Chains A and B, each alone.
Chain A
Amino acid sequence: MIKYAIRKLILAIPLVLGVVTLIFFLVELSPGSVADKYFTPDTSPEVREMIVAKYRLDDPAYVRYLFMMRNLVFLDFGVSMATEQPVFDLVVQALPNTIILSLVTLLVAFPTGVVLGIIQGVTHGSPTDTSISVSSLAFYSMPGFWFALMLQLFVSYQFGGWLLEQVAAGNIPQFFEMFALPTSGMYNVVEYDYMGPWDQFKDRVSHLILPGCAMGVASAAGTARYMRSSLLEVIRQDYIRTARAKGLRERVVILKHALRNALLPIVTLVGLSLPYLFSGGVLTEMVFAWPGMGRLIITAIYTQDTPLIIACFFIFALLVVIGNLIADLSYALVDPRVKFD
């Protein structure tokens, strides 16, 4: 299996390099000179020369391309043009935040989607099925950033505000204060350092809930749709009829015989949806001011920060490759019929 994984990774190298090449040439070919943004009209010639030498601005594009490629191999992303910080540090700060958000979303959304899909598959054609179908289609058709805004508005501002008011007025116990979820950010910037470890954890979790919901609802809806059709397909098979004919209880038929086979395509979906979770997170992170890769990439594009842009896209391409690999491997792990070759 390790051999298989390594071979897959080696095959993916041209893909990642291709993506980086594409982005490099997009940056190069876009109108205006890369050098322009470093200089104001009153930059002194000496400083100008130093900057040109530092970023190799007077070299032809292919030389800079080759240098960039060499540096990427050693994970040296250069220095950010906008903030003068090493790009590697910026990425290392942002990546874990995004991964926390995506993984929590994944861990909650997929089981939810699977359970909803099972309920739909079992009650096929009933009002329950229809209502879950319609609502999951609605969430599936919803722009994530708009849902995020609506969560901020209705859950955080209005419901949360109402809760805090009631607690302050003494109508409901202090305990309910924790259900007033914060609007944005990753932790309480003012008080975080003065909290005990347990309170810090609670603070983190409460900041995670709304962004997680905003990202997770769409992916749970998508999973439910897949799960439903997959389960319906399996339920029609002969071995399910056999299991029922043996007199097994319906619960055993569904949970032991049908579910195991219906889950196979869903497992692949987990790996494949990883990059989409990250990209969906771009807008959600913007709305919730979550300091992750999404915000980094957008700031990079706004400030035309070439090294940071290239590093971000490199990471995204890597994530896609890893996601595909996880999909392949997990499929082979859960389905004994698939052999590594």
Chain B
Amino acid sequence: MTAIVKKERFIAPPVTKLGLVFPGIGHLAVGEWVNGLGLMALVGTVSWAIIAGLPRISDIWFSGPGGGIALHSVVATFSLVAVTAAIWRAAYRRAFPRVMDDEEWNSNRQIFLRTLTRHRTGMMGFYGVCVLLTFTILAPLIAPFDPLAIDVGPQLEPPGWGYLLGTDDYGRDVFSRLLFGARISMSIGFVSVAIAATMGTSIGATAAFFGGSVDRALMWFTDLLLALPRLVLLLAIVGMIQLKGAKSIFLIVAILGFTGWMGVARIVRSQVLSLKQQEFIQAAQALGFSSQRIVFKHLIPNAMAPVIVYCSLAIGATMIAEAGLSFLGLGVPPPIATWGVMVNDGRGPLRAAPWIATMPGLAIVAAVMSFNLFGDGLRDALDPKLR
């Protein structure tokens, strides 16, 4: 097959070579301002981490418990290298696009990537998520103070140069707490959605594949859990367990996961039900493949697209649910900071120090909005009808 070069892959390569010096400029030069500004924001985050973190890298590396090496900082330093490499690779790819033959150009993967990168709001969400994740990973390098240390500054100091987002009533730095809180909030979002997706996929696929009474029983249970609004269900479980003394972050993650799978199960079930009727599954059955093989190798991979979209939207919803639980004092136990806990902390001194409650809330809005925008973009890119 002759390699047919697509012209679009070569929009103004000389201009985009500028991007190798400073990623993002090349995109801006050809008018892709979302990608350009997104990359530049990432570069800004990384440079901030370098400027703020490198001078004290030896301090944070060797300040672990008992004078050992602090794991967070080691991870952060290696991530710094990885993130930097990833940014420049993206810029390099834009400057020297790979030549593709027709087959690859028209593959599902490439069509999906092309549609996604052209989806403006979706990419805004994508870069929002990226910047937040970078801040999260590089938190030990960026954060000016220990998030849990009290009296790092005067109490209730308004935002300013020394304390970027002010201090709270214990004299803790709000900005540092926000950064480290992002780690907890985001990882709770990711991990519990992963749990929910795994559970939902297996339950939905089982129900649809076996049908009959298995289907009816599983779907009745799903409907049962869906009959209560999620927050109310969460309150019931968390309240019952926590007030009797069992408080831990892992418990919260697990419970959020166990109360979030119903949507996934329904989606997977309906997908598998329609896939089951298609020829390739019948062929697999005719070939005598085991149920296991058909479910895991043929049904589930083909049912994943809407699940991915659902999950990207569910991360935001889960973060809000976690914030709500923490706000009621039923979430992550103190002194760990999450965004919800911080909003709750700010309730007392709301009038005297509005920044304590305002800033984490804005962070939640930014994060959830990014995930929602990205999810919308993914949906449009994965939906063959909208391409």
Q: Which residues of chain A from 142 to 157 have any CB-CB distance to chain B below 8 Å in the complex?
A: 142-147, 149-150, 152-153, 157
Please choose the segment from B7-15, B52-60, B228-236, B285-293 that sits at the chain A interface, where 4 or more of its residues have CB less than 8 A away. Answer: B228-236
Please choose the segment from B67-75, B147-155, B276-284, B361-369 that sits at the chain A interface, where 4 or more of its residues have CB less than 8 A away. Answer: B361-369
Query: Does the CB pair B237–A302 fall under 8 Å?
Result: no
Known: A157-B351, A301-B243. A143 touches B320 (CB 8 A): yes
A residues in contact with B223, CB < 8 Å: 15
Partner of A31, one of B246, B327, B340: B246
A residues in contact with B232, CB < 8 Å: 279, 282, 297, 313, 316
Q: Which residues of chain A from 280 to 309 have any CB-CB distance to chain B below 8 Å in the complex?
A: 280, 282-283, 286, 297-298, 301-302, 304, 309
B residues in contact with A32, CB < 8 Å: 244-245
Q: Interface size (A, Cβ < 8 Å)?
A: 46
Query: Does the CB pair A153–B364 fall under 8 Å?
Result: no
Q: Is A321 an interface residue (CB 8 A)?
A: yes
Known: A143-B361, A313-B232. A18 touches B328 (CB 8 A): no
Q: What's the dominant secondary structure at chain B's contact region?
A: helix
> With the chains together, A149 CA to B95 CA distance in Å?
48
Q: Which residues of chain B from 310 to 330 have any CB-CB distance to chain A below 8 Å in the complex?
A: 316, 320, 323-324, 327-328, 330
Query: Does the CB pair B228–A280 fall under 8 Å?
Result: no
> With the chains together, A141 CA to B358 CA distance in Å?
15
Query: Does the CB pair B343–A302 fall under 8 Å?
Result: no
Q: Which residues of chain B from 350 to 385 have any CB-CB distance to chain A below 8 Å in the complex?
A: 350-351, 354, 357-358, 361, 364-365, 368-369, 372-373
A residues in contact with B220, CB < 8 Å: 14, 18
> With the chains together, A143 CA to B361 CA distance in Å?
8
Q: Is B64 an interface residue (CB 8 A)?
A: no
B residues in contact with A278, CB < 8 Å: 229
Q: Is A53 an interface residue (CB 8 A)?
A: no
Query: Does the CB pair B354–A321 fall under 8 Å?
Result: no
Smallest Cβ-Cβ distance to A14: which chain B residue: B220
Query: Does the CB pair A141–B369 fall under 8 Å?
Result: yes
Smallest Cβ-Cβ distance to A309: which chain B residue: B236
Query: Does the CB pair B236–A23 fall under 8 Å?
Result: yes
Query: Does the CB pair B324–A153 fall under 8 Å?
Result: no
Q: Interface size (B, Cβ < 8 Å)?
A: 43
B residues in contact with A22, CB < 8 Å: 224-225
A residues in contact with B340, CB < 8 Å: 143
Q: Is A140 an interface residue (CB 8 A)?
A: yes
Query: Does the CB pair A279–B230 fall under 8 Å?
Result: yes
Query: Does the CB pair A146–B328 fall under 8 Å?
Result: no
Q: Is A243 an interface residue (CB 8 A)?
A: no
Smallest distance from the beta carbon of B320 to chain A beta carbons, Å? Answer: 5
Query: Does the CB pair B243–A19 fall under 8 Å?
Result: no
Q: Is B3 an interface residue (CB 8 A)?
A: no
> With the chains together, A138 CA to B361 CA distance in Å?
12
Query: Does the CB pair A137–B372 fall under 8 Å?
Result: yes
B residues in contact with A144, CB < 8 Å: 324
Query: Does the CB pair B224–A149 fall under 8 Å?
Result: no
Query: Does the CB pair B351–A143 fall under 8 Å?
Result: no
Q: Is B100 an interface residue (CB 8 A)?
A: no
Q: Is A320 an interface residue (CB 8 A)?
A: yes
Smallest Cβ-Cβ distance to A27: which chain B residue: B240
Query: Does the CB pair A275–B229 fall under 8 Å?
Result: yes
Q: Is B347 an interface residue (CB 8 A)?
A: yes
Q: Is A88 an interface residue (CB 8 A)?
A: no
Query: Does the CB pair A140–B372 fall under 8 Å?
Result: yes
B residues in contact with A146, CB < 8 Å: 323, 327, 343, 357, 361, 364-365
Q: Which residues of chain B from 208 to 245 have any CB-CB distance to chain A below 8 Å in the complex?
A: 220, 223-225, 227-232, 235-237, 239-241, 243-245
> With the chains together, A18 CA to B128 CA distance in Å?
42
Smallest Cβ-Cβ distance to B354: which chain A residue: A153
B residues in contact with A152, CB < 8 Å: 350
B residues in contact with A18, CB < 8 Å: 220, 224, 227
User: Residue among A15, A30, A143, A321 with the most chain B CB within 10 A?
Assistant: A143
Smallest Cβ-Cβ distance to B232: which chain A residue: A279
Q: Is A159 an interface residue (CB 8 A)?
A: no
Query: Does the CB pair B365–A141 fall under 8 Å?
Result: yes
Query: Does the CB pair B228–A313 fall under 8 Å?
Result: yes
Query: Does the CB pair A143–B364 fall under 8 Å?
Result: yes
B residues in contact with A298, CB < 8 Å: 235, 328
A residues in contact with B324, CB < 8 Å: 143-145, 283
Q: Is A276 an interface residue (CB 8 A)?
A: yes
Further pairs besides A30-B240, A142-B365, A313-B232: 15, Cβ < 8 Å: A22-B225, A30-B241, A138-B365, A141-B365, A141-B369, A143-B361, A146-B365, A153-B357, A157-B350, A157-B351, A276-B229, A297-B232, A298-B235, A313-B236, A316-B232
21 contacts between A and B (CB under 8 A): A16-B227, A22-B225, A138-B365, A141-B316, A141-B364, A141-B365, A142-B361, A143-B320, A143-B327, A146-B361, A146-B364, A149-B343, A152-B350, A153-B354, A280-B229, A282-B235, A301-B330, A302-B243, A304-B243, A320-B228, A320-B229
Please give me the 6 A-B residue pairs with the lowest Cβ-Cβ distance, nearest first.
Answer: A279-B229, A301-B239, A146-B361, A141-B368, A30-B240, A141-B369
